Amino acid sequence: MKKLPRRDKLKIYGDLLSILNSEARREKIVLTRIQLRINVPFDRLKIYVAELKELGLIQDEPSLKLTEKGKQYLREYETVLDFMKRMGLTYQ
């Protein structure tokens, strides 16, 4: 079985925000569905979600979704990833 590359926390934050953004149309976001997409253990996912909430990047009222600050972070994160791709740098 091919070993998946280790992701650091910032990469996981970025991936999580990106998934939450793409799931925003759903009436209710289920964490187990997010877990399947992001591929981290459930207990750790809950910690990451709590940390993102604490940072003010997501909110859970009325449902789990990105705040304006979260959207801004995601936009900058995706721009930097695009720049790295253009520069020929690997970031998995």
Cβ distance 48 to 16 under 8 Å?
yes
Establish if 5 lies at the interface with another protein (CB under 8 A).
yes
Q: Which tokens belong to 2? A: 């091919």
25 vs 43, beta carbon nearer another protein: 25
Q: Binding another protein by CB under 8 A: which of 49, 59, 65, 67? A: 65
Report whether the peptide linkage leading into residue 41 is cis, meaning its omega lies within 30 degrees of zero. no
Establish if 63 lies at the interface with another protein (CB under 8 A).
no
Closest distance between another protein and the C-beta of residue 83, in Å? 4
Establish if 89 lies at the interface with another protein (CB under 8 A).
yes
Buried b (16+ CB within 10 A) or exposed e, 56-76: ebbbeeeebbbeeebeebbee
Q: Binding another protein by CB under 8 A: which of 1, 8, 32, 62? A: 8
In whole angstroms, give the CA distance from residue 21 to residue 37: 13
Closest distance between another protein and the C-beta of residue 28, in Å? 14
